Structure 1
Amino acid sequence: MTKSTFHAAPLLTLCLVLWALPLGAQKKKDNLQKPMAGPRATALRVSWLYVSADLGAQKVGRVQIGREIVVAEKSSDWLRVFANTDIEEEHTSDAPIFDTNDTPPPISGWIQAKGIVIDNTPNGDQILMGAAADQEALASDPRGPVNAARTAHLLYRRLVEMFPNSPLAAEAAWRAADILWQLQKADSSSRPSAKEQAPYLRDQMDEDGLKKVIKFYPNTRQADFAAYELLDNKLCGDWQGQEKCPEKESEIYEKYAAEHPESPRTPQALYLAVYRQAVLTDMYTADNNDKKSDAAHNHARELAAKLRDKFPQSDYTARATMLVFKLDQRIPVYGIEKE
């Protein structure tokens, strides 16, 4: 399977069906004629669809930034298209290909070519990357558009779909998946279930996008990022003072560091493992389990030493060193210090 299959193409598929199946068409596959597929495109601005190539014509819909478009024909400065207007695109991984119950068909009409990026547009991948990155920056600005993050997500997706062989495709795929993950994570953390100890009792983020990054771009920095982000679904919500949570989470972070030794996230993973060993040192001490406390203390030292050896310039190394210093000084890392 090639990288071009990173995302399903529901609009393209549906357009092909619409073109291929006129009213009264027979159901037998042998009787279907293979249609000509048009170029894929997307809009960089909110654009109106008209019944004809005329600004005075009746409007039939509005295409938002980053939505899917398939170009049927071109006439001067106008394009006749099938356009995806306001269809939900965030959770389509498990949807049937021919789902006509909940998903409205794309709208056909004429659209001005101004601001439309087509899959044969020169430097089209860079244009989409720039537009997506711009929207992502606006999303972090309190004065930015409300839907800037989701618009950035859509534009990154379009880059991957329209320019699968671009050197920017892996980064765009990762950013698209990351934005959706962060939006879901924020929503999940706002729910009462976020305080549940066991991960399975919380609303889980959809892993499909991140797993596709790992599948289609293996052994890349972006795959390392995706694998690290997936750890969120395995962590406890609230430790509730239970030792099993930091024990399990330390194992999770150490396993990641072992499997992704060159990942930019490995210093952070090792530091978080050090922190959990420091916490366990205090928890075991509070339970008068000196043997386990000493073992956790020593393990924290070992992990901090590994950080100093492999990532001497990282802030996470300095933070881990500080934690070990506190443990050596009998200064609690978790809980309240008692003199």
Structure 2
Amino acid sequence: MSAMRNEWLRWIGTGAAMLLIAPAALPQKSKNESGYDRAARATVLHEANVYVAADANSQRLSMVAPGHEVVVVERSSPWVKVFANTDVQEDPEDKPEFGDDAAPTPSSGWIRDKGVVGPTTAEGDVILYGAAANLEDAATKPNAPKDAAMEAHLLYRRVSDYFPQSTLAPEAAWRSADIRWRLEKRDISTLPSAKEQDANLRPRIFEGEMKKIIKNYPGSKYAAMAAFEMLDNKLCGDWQGLPKCPEMEAGLYEKYAHQFPDGPRTAEALYNAVYREATVVTMYAVQEDRKKADDAAAKTQSFAAEVKAKFPQTDFAARAVSIAFKVKQGIAIYGNDRD
């Protein structure tokens, strides 16, 4: 993962508003097709005003933001007649938890014939990917444009939609899904239900795009990363000092690590299992359940040895070994560790 993306992932925790697209009242898409001539579908790279006529002095009907779709109906240089904001989710479950009021309204009209990119545009995949990456980078800056992250999400999606055979398509699909996932995760984390132990008591982050990555790119690093992100929907909100949650989560991470032994997030998954088992040791020690504390301590050592053996050059290996040492020394990992 690039340094720029790492920076953005740190940024995403501060003030990102989720502006997902609500289904528009348009003809139903078939499962695999848009319902429109593929060559007529396009998006824009900048905010484009939609006018009632091919005249900038005519009434302005709406605006198309970067990444949103238009269907090109007619060209009359330097204008293009379009049906704008035609985004319709292929999956009926692809709807927002928040932000419905911000969804654009479909409208027919004219836009300037500039910055319009579709499946037949030469180097269109590179152009869209580059525009998305620039917006993603802009989202890391102080006073970032309000919708930069969501526009990047949509433009990345267009790369994989319009150019599925492009070498950029898998990375673009992952970045699109990853941005949306993190924005939703941030929004859900602000709700009171985020503190509930039971994950079923809080809204679920939409999994459709992650599942599509696993389906379209099986065995790839992108499928492994998507599966890791989806664990968020199964984790507890607040452990509340009880061993039930960290025990369950350690099992999830162990299962993931064995399902994706060479994945980009496997070392992290094993470390997460180490940390959770180590906290379980402390919790059972507080409850004076020595047998269960000893069992958790043994699992801590086993997971730490595994991450050290398989990923010796990673920080996660060193961190796991450090935690395992503390557990062996009888130092509390969770709560107050002072004697």
**TM-score when normalising by structure 2:** 0.83
How far the C-alpha of 1:37 sits from its partner, in A, is 6.0
**1:49 aligned to 2:63?**
no
When residues 206 and 156 of structure 1 are mapped into structure 2, their CA distance, relative to the original with a 3 A threshold, is same
Amino acid at match of 2:81: R
When residues 211 and 291 of structure 1 are mapped into structure 2, their CA distance, relative to the original with a 3 A threshold, is same
Task: State how 1:73-152 maps to structure 2 within 5 Å.
Answer: 73-84=74-85, 93-94=92-93, 106-152=106-152
Amino acid at match of 2:216: F
Q: Distance in 1 between matches of 2:199 and 2:38?
A: 45
Task: State how 1:153-192 maps to structure 2 within 5 Å.
Answer: 153-192=153-192
**1:298 aligned to 2:311?**
no
When residues 150 and 16 of structure 1 are mapped into structure 2, their CA distance, relative to the original with a 3 A threshold, is closer
Q: Distance in 1 between matches of 2:176 and 2:39?
A: 25
Amino acid at match of 1:328: K
How far the C-alpha of 1:90 sits from its partner, in A, is 7.8
Amino acid at match of 2:93: D
When residues 63 and 11 of structure 1 are mapped into structure 2, their CA distance, relative to the original with a 3 A threshold, is same
Q: Distance in 2 between matches of 1:91 and 1:285?
A: 51
User: Is the CA contact 1:16–1:37 (under 8 Å) kept in the aligned structure 2?
Assistant: no
User: Is the CA contact 2:71–2:83 (under 8 Å) kept in the aligned structure 1?
Assistant: yes
Q: Distance in 2 between matches of 1:247 and 1:337?
A: 20
Q: Distance in 2 between matches of 1:249 and 1:324?
A: 18
Structure 1: runs of 5 or more not aligned:
1-9, 18-33, 97-101
Q: Distance in 2 between matches of 1:284 and 1:195?
A: 22
User: Is the CA contact 1:138–1:148 (under 8 Å) kept in the aligned structure 2?
Assistant: yes
When residues 16 and 300 of structure 1 are mapped into structure 2, their CA distance, relative to the original with a 3 A threshold, is closer
User: Is the CA contact 2:221–2:263 (under 8 Å) kept in the aligned structure 1?
Assistant: yes
Q: Distance in 1 between matches of 2:173 and 2:257?
A: 23
User: Is the CA contact 1:38–1:72 (under 8 Å) kept in the aligned structure 2?
Assistant: no
Task: Please state whether the residue corresponding to 2:237 is helix, strand or coil.
Answer: coil
Amino acid at match of 2:75: K
Amino acid at match of 2:240: Q
1:164-212 Cα distance to aligned partner (Å, 9 max, x none): 2211112111111111111111111111111111111112111111111
Larger deviation, residues 47-56 vs 254-263: 47-56
Matched length:
307
Identity %: 48
How far the C-alpha of 1:141 sits from its partner, in A, is 2.1
1:242-276 Cα distance to aligned partner (Å, 9 max, x none): 11111100000000000011110000000000001
Which residue does 2:64 correspond to in 1? 63
When residues 38 and 166 of structure 1 are mapped into structure 2, their CA distance, relative to the original with a 3 A threshold, is closer
How far the C-alpha of 1:93 sits from its partner, in A, is 3.0
Task: State how 1:188-337 maps to structure 2 within 5 Å.
Answer: 188-337=188-337
User: Is the CA contact 2:282–2:332 (under 8 Å) kept in the aligned structure 1?
Assistant: yes
1:103-134 Cα distance to aligned partner (Å, 9 max, x none): 98732222212111121111111111111111
Which residue does 2:8 correspond to in 1? none
How far the C-alpha of 1:38 sits from its partner, in A, is 4.7
Amino acid at match of 2:183: L
When residues 224 and 302 of structure 1 are mapped into structure 2, their CA distance, relative to the original with a 3 A threshold, is same
Which residue does 1:14 correspond to in 2? 27
How far the C-alpha of 1:72 sits from its partner, in A, is 1.8
Q: Distance in 1 between matches of 2:219 and 2:29?
A: 35
User: Is the CA contact 1:73–1:79 (under 8 Å) kept in the aligned structure 2?
Assistant: yes
1:295-331 Cα distance to aligned partner (Å, 9 max, x none): 2112111111111111011110010011011112221
Structure 2: runs of 5 or more not aligned:
1-22, 96-100
Q: Distance in 1 between matches of 2:62 and 2:319?
A: 54
When residues 42 and 12 of structure 1 are mapped into structure 2, their CA distance, relative to the original with a 3 A threshold, is farther
Q: Distance in 2 between matches of 1:110 and 1:132?
A: 24
Task: Please state whether the residue corresponding to 1:108 is helix, strand or coil.
Answer: strand
Q: Distance in 2 between matches of 1:76 and 1:109?
A: 14
Task: Please state whether the residue corresponding to 1:288 is helix, strand or coil.
Answer: coil
1:135-180 Cα distance to aligned partner (Å, 9 max, x none): 1122222311111111111111222221122111121111111111
Q: Distance in 2 between matches of 1:15 and 1:62?
A: 23
Amino acid at match of 1:291: K
Q: Distance in 2 between matches of 1:47 and 1:221?
A: 36
When residues 250 and 178 of structure 1 are mapped into structure 2, their CA distance, relative to the original with a 3 A threshold, is same
When residues 292 and 95 of structure 1 are mapped into structure 2, their CA distance, relative to the original with a 3 A threshold, is closer
